[in-house]
Structure 1
Amino acid sequence: MALPPSGAAWSQSLQEALAAAYANNPTLLAARAQLRATDEEVPRALSGWRPSVIISGAAGYSDTTNRSQASVPIQRDFAGNVRNEDTAGLPFSAYTNSPRNTGSLQATVTQPIYRGGRTTAQTRQAENAVYAQRSRLLQTEQQVLLESVAAYVAVIRDQEEVRLNTNNVQVLNRQLQATNERFRVGEITRTDVAQAEARLAQARFQLDQAQGNLQSSRAVFLRLVGVEPARVTAPPPLAAPVRSRDEAVRLASDNNPAVVAAMFDEASARDNIDVQFSTLMPQVSVNASTFRIDNNASRGSRQTGAQVTANLSVPLYQGGAEHAAVRQARQQAQRARQAVDDARRLSAQQATQAWETLGSARAQVESVRAQIRAQEIALDGVQREAVVGSRTTLDVLNAEQELLTARVNLVRSLATLINASYSLAATIGRLTAQDLNLPVQVYDPRAYYNTVRDRWAGTGDYSDTAQQAPTPQSAIQVQTLPPPSGQRRP
């Protein structure tokens, strides 16, 4: 994705930041690579149906010496007289050297016919593992987007707190100057001046703290999104995709990616029982081979041949390890079944918490707004009363501090409201790039799977085969949250 250069004139929306995180976040990219690696388990399982072809050869040099026992034959002359009476019949050894180049070549084709159901079970297990990993990819995508939203909102929140604290320092500076003038003419005491100085020092400390928090938030933003935050604009909260807490709990229990992944993990664990049980079943295969052997026994000799055999293997007893593996697989399936229940309960808890947090944040926003309106009126009254001497400098400083605290609380409450709205969408599985209509090419998790599933050979990298997914029929919409009068929305 081409990203525009950061600068003071560029307004960086939340969707643009989320699109950058979707395209560049290392955690999300690693999860996609993990899914592609899991996709390869399916062609590995399907290879159990396919033949294996092996060609083997050997070449070398051989020098063979043959030793044979013999005896000296009897030799006679023309009259029939023995001519070698002294050596006739004596044994001796005969040696024959046979140096030669040897070679052999063999081709074997093996076709599995029946493997005890292992290939079918492994294929089902691999496919369920793929579906589980796809759900985990969605879970990672939602987590990255949710953290990016929080980082984006944190930058705006901290910027607003810096602005409020900067304004507070300026106000207290003017307040200190006015206090010094009144002290010089004898209207107030030195105590009032000291109180104004102490409050100004505290305001400077709060400003330094807010600036440090802002730099930390910017660092988190850079880590998640991959670019520096520019002129971020205040995002509205998501409109709640559900109408009640019960609906949120129901959808979360069915659609949360963690629940879906646990369900496919359970199915994969059940398939593993059949995989382990296949070791106790008969095995049937067909084997065809042809060979050629040159100069094996002697120089100039050659052997050729071919054969086709049907092989049957029936395991009777193999020590009991296979039986233990089957029992172990059954217990692993039970553990996976309990993990599904735990994932459902956890998603229901998260949905309940997100719903209640969202409602609480909305109530807090309204309460703090009412508090700000009251504090502004109170501050104006305290300042007027201080002019006529019925209020002290400390009363004015306290009123200003209470108003500042209320405004900071409004900023934080609005940030909590926005984060809670996105968290609620994440608990029911609706915080994806498609649901948010992000301006980015959507990663298609099926493209790589379809490319490699039936591939018989090839060692290349097919990770660039992901195509753009279709546009979703319905996406989550955002709602406008009006800012309070005279205040800028964080």
Structure 2
Amino acid sequence: MRKIRGFGLGMLVWLALPAAAEQAIGIGDAMDRLRDSPRLKAGDAAISAAEGKREAAAAKHLPQLALSSNHYLLDKDIEVDLGDVRQAFIDRGDGALAARINDVTIQERNFGSLDAIVKYPVYTGGRITAGVAVAESGIAASREAREHTHEELLLELVRRYYGVRVADEALAVQTAAARGLREHQRHAEHLEKEGQIARVERLSANVAAAEAERERVVAERNLTMARQALTSLLDAEAMPPGQLGIPSVESLPPLQRFVSGTRDNNAQLKQLAATRKQAESATSAVKGAYLPTVNLLAIRSLSNYNLPDVWPDWTAGATISLPLFDGGERRGKLHEANARLEQVGQTYEQARRDFELLVEQRYHELQNAQEQIRTLKRTRELSEESLHAQRKAFSEGVARSLDVIDAQTTRSKVLLADLSARYSALTNYAALMLVSGQGPALEEWLRSTQENQP
């Protein structure tokens, strides 16, 4: 099993789950089950939260209505001093009338009111509009992040789902090899008893049979782990159908199609583009803090106490506010916003280059796997013929035990290499489709490949 483990099949699982009853599940049903993934539900919640932010930002365009209850306590009552009037009467000799003239209290020191206040923003320097744009870009970024999560899950499903089939077929190869070498071992023991071969020939057969059995056990363990990995992903005890084959990529589109698709449709790049637009809108909002704010106000008095009867029932007005000095807070925020915009822009550019390189790497790996599949097709036939010939020659005493063992080992390696090449071609093709934003096309292709199998 060294060869197959070298191709990464032993890395197919991270979690071990209890054994449970299994039922066959098609790739279409498996993809449908991904919709219930907690990671996708978390993405849906993030989108909903972003939509809530947009609603809150858009609401700032509308008038605000509030109830205001106010209570005041002055240091003393507000009075009108009538001392000059009293003095005038005294000067005229009318002291009795002057004594009856007291100061007038026009406002007691303790008073309050209950008012309804309407505030309508007429101009805010573009900050409200920029805030809405920030929120809308946040929604777009959340949606693309959710799409990227779905693509990651779909690629992982392809790896684990068909990884089970590869591990199953690898076990079949190792089982056949172990069975063949056990048969060779028995044959060698029989020939040794008859004196036709030396003891060392029989010992070689024993060692090879034991090694083949060990690798069969490893392959069996790898299959168990691959099944557990798929169960963990789908949260269900379901396995691929036993007759399922590994889909083959018959025709490979040109590289440029994948590169162009990545530039235009890659979910992570679209998420970064939305984040960049969000940063641009945030910069505009900060710049708006340097401009004046104009609000219309309307106040309706609902109730009051200790206020004069002449107090108005309603008041209307406009306010203009222009901050002149804030200790450099606006300058600092603008510096931060510009730096954030530069950071996002550079991150997008680097990500674009990285994805183009990734596409080229995946494409060449897929081409290499396809070339290996074509080469191994003839090699499989030759290895089968060689094994048959070496077994026959050994039985006739004209071949060594090591020759049979080498032929059997070569046959197993060729079959395992073919399995690995087909698995590599499939997973690289799936990665290419997803990184270039062709997730729906990949799902449709996977469903059609299974439907077309006998």
Q: Shorter chain as normaliser: what TM range?
A: 0.7 to 0.9
1:50-449 to 2 correspondences below 5 Å: 50-57=62-69, 104-232=113-241, 233-237=244-248, 243-293=253-303, 295-296=305-306, 305-432=313-440, 436-437=443-444
The residue identity in structure 2 corresponding to 1:236 is: P
The corresponding residue for 1:46 is 58
Q: Which stretch shifts more, 267-276 or 332-341?
A: 332-341
Cα displacement string for residues 447-479 of structure 1 (whole angstroms, at most 9, x for unaligned residues): xxxxxxxxxxxxxxxxxxxxxxxxxxxx79966
C-alpha distance in structure 2 between counterparts of 1:177 and 1:7, whole Å: 38
The corresponding residue for 1:69 is none
The corresponding residue for 1:85 is none
The residue identity in structure 2 corresponding to 1:33 is: A
> Are the counterparts in 2 of residues 7 and 230 from structure 1 also a CA contact under 8 Å?
no
The Cα RMSD (Å) is 3.1
In the TM superposition, residue 216 of structure 1 has moved relative to its aligned partner by 1.9
Change in 2 beyond 3 A, CA 1:476/1:407? closer
In the TM superposition, residue 183 of structure 1 has moved relative to its aligned partner by 1.9
> Are the counterparts in 1 of residues 27 and 240 from structure 2 also a CA contact under 8 Å?
no
C-alpha distance in structure 1 between counterparts of 2:304 and 2:364, whole Å: 84
In the TM superposition, residue 208 of structure 1 has moved relative to its aligned partner by 1.8
> Are the counterparts in 1 of residues 164 and 226 from structure 2 also a CA contact under 8 Å?
yes
| Same amino acid, percent of matched pairs | 21
In the TM superposition, residue 279 of structure 1 has moved relative to its aligned partner by 1.2
Count of aligned pairs = 399
> Are the counterparts in 2 of residues 239 and 477 from structure 1 also a CA contact under 8 Å?
no
Change in 2 beyond 3 A, CA 1:237/1:229? farther
> Are the counterparts in 2 of residues 238 and 477 from structure 1 also a CA contact under 8 Å?
no
The corresponding residue for 1:17 is 30
C-alpha distance in structure 1 between counterparts of 2:345 and 2:261, whole Å: 20
The DSSP-based 3-state class of the residue aligned with 1:236 is coil
The residue identity in structure 1 corresponding to 2:44 is: R
Where in structure 2 are there 5+ consecutive unaligned residues?
1-19, 78-110
The DSSP-based 3-state class of the residue aligned with 2:437 is coil
In the TM superposition, residue 275 of structure 1 has moved relative to its aligned partner by 0.6
In the TM superposition, residue 395 of structure 1 has moved relative to its aligned partner by 1.1
The DSSP-based 3-state class of the residue aligned with 1:121 is helix
The residue identity in structure 2 corresponding to 1:268 is: Q
In the TM superposition, residue 344 of structure 1 has moved relative to its aligned partner by 1.3
The DSSP-based 3-state class of the residue aligned with 2:316 is strand
> Are the counterparts in 2 of residues 57 and 105 from structure 1 also a CA contact under 8 Å?
yes
The residue identity in structure 2 corresponding to 1:37 is: A
The DSSP-based 3-state class of the residue aligned with 1:436 is helix
C-alpha distance in structure 2 between counterparts of 1:56 and 1:218, whole Å: 65
In the TM superposition, residue 297 of structure 1 has moved relative to its aligned partner by 8.0
Where in structure 1 are there 5+ consecutive unaligned residues?
1-5, 67-101, 438-474, 484-488
C-alpha distance in structure 1 between counterparts of 2:183 and 2:300, whole Å: 101
| TM-score (normalizing by structure 2) | 0.80
2:33 is equivalent to residue 36 of structure 1: no
The residue identity in structure 2 corresponding to 1:45 is: A
Cα displacement string for residues 6-52 of structure 1 (whole angstroms, at most 9, x for unaligned residues): 977x542222211212x222222212221221122211210110122
> Are the counterparts in 1 of residues 430 and 442 from structure 2 also a CA contact under 8 Å?
no
The DSSP-based 3-state class of the residue aligned with 1:370 is helix
C-alpha distance in structure 1 between counterparts of 2:221 and 2:28, whole Å: 26
The residue identity in structure 2 corresponding to 1:147 is: E
> Are the counterparts in 1 of residues 276 and 344 from structure 2 also a CA contact under 8 Å?
yes
C-alpha distance in structure 1 between counterparts of 2:446 and 2:224, whole Å: 31
In the TM superposition, residue 306 of structure 1 has moved relative to its aligned partner by 2.5
C-alpha distance in structure 1 between counterparts of 2:319 and 2:376, whole Å: 81
Cα displacement string for residues 363-383 of structure 1 (whole angstroms, at most 9, x for unaligned residues): 111112221111111111111
The DSSP-based 3-state class of the residue aligned with 1:218 is helix
C-alpha distance in structure 2 between counterparts of 1:223 and 1:477, whole Å: 22
1:455-470 to 2 correspondences below 5 Å: none
C-alpha distance in structure 2 between counterparts of 1:214 and 1:274, whole Å: 57
The residue identity in structure 2 corresponding to 1:24 is: D
Change in 2 beyond 3 A, CA 1:238/1:16? farther
Change in 2 beyond 3 A, CA 1:238/1:182? closer
More helix by share: 2
Cα displacement string for residues 410-443 of structure 1 (whole angstroms, at most 9, x for unaligned residues): 11111111111111111210013x7624xxxxxx
The residue identity in structure 1 corresponding to 2:443 is: L
Cα displacement string for residues 199-244 of structure 1 (whole angstroms, at most 9, x for unaligned residues): 122112112211222222122212222222324322424566x731
Cα displacement string for residues 312-364 of structure 1 (whole angstroms, at most 9, x for unaligned residues): 10122211110121122122212222122112111211211121111111111
The residue identity in structure 1 corresponding to 2:204 is: Q
C-alpha distance in structure 2 between counterparts of 1:38 and 1:224, whole Å: 28
Change in 2 beyond 3 A, CA 1:476/1:231? closer
2:38 is equivalent to residue 26 of structure 1: yes
C-alpha distance in structure 1 between counterparts of 2:305 and 2:329, whole Å: 46
